[in-house]
A and B are shown apart, each in its own frame.
Chain A
C-alpha cells in the first residue's frame, strides 16, 4: 500500500517545528480573543504564511500574500450576510426562502471566487498561482451532480469526486504553466470500496462486541421518557459506533484518492508529482492527534498540526522536468476576498491540500 517514492522523486520538505509554531499560535489566539475575533483575520494570514514559508520543494518555498485587512473585510461581509439571513428568516419566513434561492445561485460563484482568491494569494518561488475554472462547471459539480449522486444512493460518488478533483487541479496554474491530472476512475472506486468494507466490518464487529441492539436504540428514540441513564448510554454507544465506523473510512478514502491524484498530476514543463501516503498511518496520525489535543485541552494542537504537515510533506514527491527558474507570474485582475471568507466561515472544503 505504501511504496516508497521512486528515486527521481524528491520529497517536499516541511521545516517548521512545533515549539516555534506554538508561540505564534498561542499569541494569535490571545490577540484574537482580546479583539473579539477581529485579529483572527491577521492570525489566519500568519498561520498560512508560516506553513507555506516552511514548505520547501527543491530548496524553494511557498508564500501567502493576502493581508489581514482583505480577509477581515471579506469576513465582515459574509457575517453581515449571515446575520441578515437569520433575522430575515425570523421576520418573514417566506423571505428566508427567497434568500435561500439567492444563496443557491450565488454558491458556485462564491466557490470559484474562493479558489481564485486562494490561488492568487499563494505563490511558489516568487510566482503566483492562478485558477480559471468557470462558475458554470462549479454549479454542475457542487449543486446538480450531488443531487444526482444521491439518487443513485451514492454508488456514483467516486465519479463525482474524481470530476471535482479534475476540475480543481486542471484549472490551477503556476504562473502561465497549467496543472494537469489524468487519473482513471478505477482508483476512486477501489478507495470507495475499501472505505465501505471498513464501515461494515468495524460497524459489524462493534455491534457484536458492545452488544448494541438496534431494537434498544429504536425503542429509546421512540420513548425517551424511559430511564435517562439507559437512554444516555444507548445514544453514546450509537455516536461512538458512528465515529469509529465512518470517520476512519473517510480518512482512508481521502488518503487513497490523494495518492491517485498526485501520482498522475503534472505541471506544464515536464514536472511530475507523487504521493505515497500510507492510509493506515494517516488514520493513526489523525486519530492520535485528536486524542492528544483533547486530553491537553487543545494546547497540543500546534504540535498536531506540525506533525500532520510534516507527514504529508514527507510523502509528497516532485520530479522537475525542466528548470524551476522559468515560471512567470501571469498578470490578471485581482480577486476579492469575499468568496474566500464564505468558504472559510461555512467550512466548505475546496482547497487543494498540500
Chain B
C-alpha cells in the first residue's frame, strides 16, 4: 500500500540530542490514519495513529516539530506537507494573520485605536470596578492606618484653641449637612486638627472621609470663606474617590505596561514608565480642577463665598510662588486655578 503523504526530516530519540535523517509516511487505513517514521534503511523508528501526534503550531519559517507518543520528535522543513496533515488549525490561522503583508497596516491601526480607547475608557472602567469591589471596612482601615503613620512620624497634636477648633468644625458640619443624604452615609466624614511643622498651611483628605487641617492653615487663613472653600475642595476629593482612583490607576498602569511592553530592553522600559508617570500627573491635575469646582459649588450652597478659594490661591502665590513647572506637578498652577475660579464665580 503506498503512502498517502510522505516527507523528509530528522528524528530525535526521546530526550536525546541524537538525530538521524528520517522519512515521515502516512497511510490511510480503514481504522484511521497511521503514521510511521522510517530511517535511511527504511527500518521503522516508531509509529502511531495520526490523532496521537502532537504537532507544534507554525511559527514564522522555523522548522516544524511533530511529537510521537513514545517521545520521539520529528523535525522537518516541509511546511506545506505539515499544513496538509493538520488542515486548518487555530495555529495556522494565527500564522496566516502574522505574515508580512499590507494587512498588517490594519493591525497597527487597530493596536493604536484600541490602545487609545483602553487608555481613555477601559482604564477608568477597571478602576471603577476595583473601587466598587473594595469593601468599606478596607477603605476605613486605610484612613486609620495612614493616620497612625502620620501621627507616629510627622504630626504633633494640634496647638489650636478650643474656640478656633469649634469655629472650623462648625463650618465643616455646615458643609457636610449640604451634601445629599446618601453621600453623607457612604463616607465617614470627620475633621482632625494636627500641627504639621514644615508643611505650612495645608489640608488633605483620606479616602474614607478623614480630613486633616494643619494649625498653620487656621492661623494664616482664618476667614470662614477660605476655610469653607478649601474644606469643600477636600470633601470633593472624598466624594469623587480621587485617592482610591490614583491608587488603583497606578497599579493597573504598572501591570499593563509591564505585561504589554514585554522585553523592549531596559532603556525603553524606563522611558515608557517615566512617560506614563508624566501622563498620570495630568490625570492628577484634572482631579484637582474637579475638586476645585465641587468645593466651590458646595461652599456656595452652604452660603459661603466661593471666591474665598481665589483669595487663598492669590495669597499662596504671593507667599510661596509656584514651586514646580506645571507639566511635572500634581497640581495645576495657581494662576490657572485662579482663572478657573473667576470663570466659575461669574457663572453663578
Q: Smallest CB–CB gap between B185 and chain A, Å?
A: 23
- Whether B149 contacts A26 by the Cβ 8 Å rule is no
Q: Which residues of A contact B110 (CB under 8 A)?
A: 30
- Whether B60 contacts A24 by the Cβ 8 Å rule is yes
Q: Smallest CB–CB gap between B98 and chain A, Å?
A: 4
**Could you tell me the distance between the alpha carbons of A49 and B61 in the complex, rounded to whole angstroms?**
12
**Could you tell me the distance between the alpha carbons of A231 and B99 in the complex, rounded to whole angstroms?**
49
- Whether A126 contacts B17 by the Cβ 8 Å rule is yes
> A255-280: which residues lie under 8 A (CB-CB) from chain B?
none
- Whether B268 contacts A293 by the Cβ 8 Å rule is yes
- Whether A36 contacts B146 by the Cβ 8 Å rule is no
- Whether A20 contacts B100 by the Cβ 8 Å rule is yes
Residue of A whose beta carbon sits closest to that of B271: A294
Q: Which 9 A-B pairs have CB atoms at the shortest separation, nearest pair first?
A: A329-B15, A53-B62, A37-B259, A325-B18, A327-B17, A23-B98, A125-B17, A126-B12, A225-B321
> B198-253: which residues lie under 8 A (CB-CB) from chain A?
247, 251
Residue of A whose beta carbon sits closest to that of B101: A23
Q: Which residues of A contact B2 (CB under 8 A)?
A: none
**Could you tell me the distance between the alpha carbons of A94 and B259 in the complex, rounded to whole angstroms?**
30
Type the 1/0 row for B252-265, where 1 means its CB is closer than 8 Å to any CB of A.
Answer: 00011011101111
- Whether B260 contacts A83 by the Cβ 8 Å rule is no
Known contacts A87-B138, A325-B18; decide if A225 and B268 are in contact (CB<8 Å): no
Known contacts A224-B324, A232-B325; decide if A22 and B100 are in contact (CB<8 Å): yes
Q: Smallest CB–CB gap between B69 and chain A, Å?
A: 16
B99 in complex: contacting residue of A23, A40, A54, A61, CB < 8 Å: A23
- Whether B114 contacts A92 by the Cβ 8 Å rule is no
Is B118's CB within 8 Å of the partner chain A? Answer: yes
- Whether B267 contacts A290 by the Cβ 8 Å rule is yes
A24 in complex: contacting residue of B98, B138, B251, B320, CB < 8 Å: B98
**Could you tell me the distance between the alpha carbons of A144 and B31 in the complex, rounded to whole angstroms?**
65
Is B108's CB within 8 Å of the partner chain A? Answer: yes
Residue of B whose beta carbon sits closest to that of A34: B114
> B284-321: which residues lie under 8 A (CB-CB) from chain A?
320-321
Residue of A whose beta carbon sits closest to that of B100: A19
B260 in complex: contacting residue of A27, A29, A289, CB < 8 Å: A29
> A1-29: which residues lie under 8 A (CB-CB) from chain B?
16, 19-24, 26-27, 29
Is B107's CB within 8 Å of the partner chain A? Answer: yes
- Whether B17 contacts A60 by the Cβ 8 Å rule is yes
Is A156's CB within 8 Å of the partner chain B? Answer: no
- Whether B247 contacts A86 by the Cβ 8 Å rule is yes
**Could you tell me the distance between the alpha carbons of A19 and B102 in the complex, rounded to whole angstroms?**
12
> A36-65: which residues lie under 8 A (CB-CB) from chain B?
36-37, 40, 43-44, 46-47, 49-50, 53-54, 60-61, 63
Given contacts A298-B264, A298-B268, 18 further A-B contacts (CB under 8 A): A23-B98, A23-B100, A24-B59, A29-B111, A33-B118, A37-B260, A44-B262, A79-B255, A91-B138, A91-B145, A126-B19, A228-B325, A286-B265, A293-B268, A299-B108, A301-B268, A345-B259, A347-B266
- Whether A40 contacts B259 by the Cβ 8 Å rule is yes
> A89-131: which residues lie under 8 A (CB-CB) from chain B?
90-94, 124-128
**Could you tell me the distance between the alpha carbons of A83 and B252 in the complex, rounded to whole angstroms?**
9
Q: Which residues of A contact B118 (CB under 8 A)?
A: 33, 36
Q: Which residues of A contact B99 (CB under 8 A)?
A: 23
Q: How many residues of A contact B (CB 8 A)?
A: 69
Identify the interface centre among A27, A30, A87, A324: most chain B CB within 10 Å of its CB. A30
Q: Smallest CB–CB gap between B230 and chain A, Å?
A: 22
Q: Smallest CB–CB gap between A86 and chain B, Å?
A: 6
Tell me the A residues contacting B by CB distance below 8 Å.
16, 19-24, 26-27, 29-30, 32-34, 36-37, 40, 43-44, 46-47, 49-50, 53-54, 60-61, 63, 75, 79, 82-83, 86-87, 90-94, 124-128, 175, 224-225, 228, 231-232, 247, 286, 289-290, 293-294, 298-299, 301, 324-329, 331, 345, 347, 349
Residue of A whose beta carbon sits closest to that of B269: A347
> B133-156: which residues lie under 8 A (CB-CB) from chain A?
138, 141-142, 145-146, 148-149
> Range of interface residues on chain B?
35 or more
- Whether A40 contacts B262 by the Cβ 8 Å rule is yes
- Whether A26 contacts B61 by the Cβ 8 Å rule is no
B59 in complex: contacting residue of A49, A92, A175, A293, CB < 8 Å: A49
- Whether A126 contacts B111 by the Cβ 8 Å rule is no
**Could you tell me the distance between the alpha carbons of A325 and B17 in the complex, rounded to whole angstroms?**
5
Q: Smallest CB–CB gap between A329 and chain B, Å?
A: 4
- Whether A126 contacts B148 by the Cβ 8 Å rule is no
Q: Which residues of B contact A24 (CB under 8 A)?
A: 59-60, 98
Is B171's CB within 8 Å of the partner chain A? Answer: no
**Could you tell me the distance between the alpha carbons of A107 and B321 in the complex, rounded to whole angstroms?**
45
Is B322's CB within 8 Å of the partner chain A? Answer: yes
**Could you tell me the distance between the alpha carbons of A300 and B101 in the complex, rounded to whole angstroms?**
16
Residue of A whose beta carbon sits closest to that of B150: A93
Identify the interface centre among B16, B141, B256: most chain A CB within 10 Å of its CB. B16
Is B157's CB within 8 Å of the partner chain A? Answer: no
Type the 1/0 row for B38-61, where 1 means its CB is closer than 8 Å to any CB of A.
Answer: 000000000000000000000111
Q: Smallest CB–CB gap between A264 and chain B, Å?
A: 24
A-B contact pairs, 5 of them (CB 8 A): A23-B104, A36-B126, A40-B262, A61-B62, A327-B16
Is B159's CB within 8 Å of the partner chain A? Answer: no
Q: Which residues of B contact A54 (CB under 8 A)?
A: 60, 62
**Could you tell me the distance between the alpha carbons of A34 and B110 in the complex, rounded to whole angstroms?**
9
Type the 1/0 row for B1-39, where 1 means its CB is closer than 8 Å to any CB of A.
Answer: 000000000001001111100000000000000000000
Q: Smallest CB–CB gap between A285 and chain B, Å?
A: 11
Q: Which residues of A contact B61 (CB under 8 A)?
A: 20
**Could you tell me the distance between the alpha carbons of A232 and B110 in the complex, rounded to whole angstroms?**
36
**Could you tell me the distance between the alpha carbons of A33 and B114 in the complex, rounded to whole angstroms?**
7
Is B177's CB within 8 Å of the partner chain A? Answer: no
**Could you tell me the distance between the alpha carbons of A79 and B130 in the complex, rounded to whole angstroms?**
14
Known contacts A50-B59, A86-B247; decide if A93 and B148 are in contact (CB<8 Å): yes
Q: Smallest CB–CB gap between B184 and chain A, Å?
A: 24
Q: Smallest CB–CB gap between A121 and chain B, Å?
A: 14
